Structure 1
Amino acid sequence: MDIKTKLSTLWIVVMLNLIFADILSIMVELVNKKTLGAILGEITSTMAIAAVLTNIPILMIYFSRVLPYKTNRYMNIGAAILTIVYVVGGGSLMPHYLVCAGIEIIMLLFILRNAFKWKDTKQY
């Protein structure tokens, strides 16, 4: 992979993390103002777990481009499975979430299918 592609991919990872951090900041602000009616300690630890789990697909943007075949294949399979569990487990029955989660799961199933079918052709 050329350096431009690597740098571009790293910037995508950075940008997604910035957006994610802003979303978490908004959620923390709502909790602090008691808007969500939750206990701050529980929300803080839950958000830390969510931050770790959400970073799996963000990091896979980069890892999918740079890791060698075997590691890449296994990481894509593992990350897709963990992300499906996260999307379903943290889900909501709100219509917007069902639409977004449905699209995410379909895309993750495509990732799984491609990773399982991926054969080492020495062209990474």
Structure 2
Amino acid sequence: MNSDENTPTFLEDVKINVKIKLSALWATLMFLYLYLDFFKLYEPGSIEEILAGRVWEFEITQAWALSAMVLMTIPSLMVFLSMALPAKANRLANIIVGALYVFIGIGTMIGEVWYFYLFGHSLGVLLLLLIVWYAWKWPKQEA
């Protein structure tokens, strides 16, 4: 009988660097945003509203499109910046941008009645709170 058969085994649990966690959370959030916007098109009347030049309560203009683009560019860039910025700047950027987008996510849900949208943005807010949490708890190392 081999003595190794009686030795308990455990799954290896590799410690993941906080930069990778943050980047993965931002990437997950971006996929969630894409799916929310895509499924929003399936709401009755959504396409007609877009064809009439309106999205939600906003008129579709150059300024609206630019604003929407900037709003989605920032978390897109955070996927990269979470990996590339030095620790101190990275931590600060993730806390500030993450907290800002928590408020944006909550604001997006105001007046919404579709469950998928409420669920998706609630999950988005949870992901953003995790981003802020991981950045806040960034591991320290001795000098």
TM class, shorter-length? 0.5 to 0.7
Runs of 4+ deviating beyond 6 Å: 26-29, 37-40
Equivalent residue, structure 2, for 1:49:
67
Stretch moving more, 104-113 or 79-88:
79-88
Query: Residues of 1 paired with 2:60 and 2:99: CA distance?
Result: 24
Contact 1:77–1:116 (CA under 8 A) maintained in structure 2: yes
> Which structure has greater helix proportion?
1
Say which one has the larger Rg: 2
Q: Which residue of 2 aligns with 1:78?
A: 96
Alpha-carbon displacement from aligned partner over 1:22-67 (angstroms, at most 9, x marks no partner): x6xx889963x31748898x32223322221122211110000010
Q: For residues 57 and 39 of structure 1, do their structure 2 counterparts lie closer, same or farther at Cα, with a shift above 3 Å needed?
A: closer
Counterparts of 1:49 and 1:120 in 2: how far apart (Å)? Answer: 37
Distance across 2 between alignment mates of 1:35 and 1:28: 10
Which of 56, 65, 89 is matched with 2:107 structurally?
Answer: 89
TM-score normalised by L of structure 2? 0.56
Runs of 5+ in structure 1 lacking a partner?
A: 1-8
**How many residues are matched?**
104
Report the Cα offset of residue 116 of structure 1.
0.7
TM-score, with normalisation over the residues of structure 1?
Answer: 0.64
The one of 77, 89, 100 equivalent to 1:59 is 77
1:121 pairs with 2:138: no
Pick 1 or 2: higher relative contact order, CA cutoff 8 A, min separation 6. Answer: 2
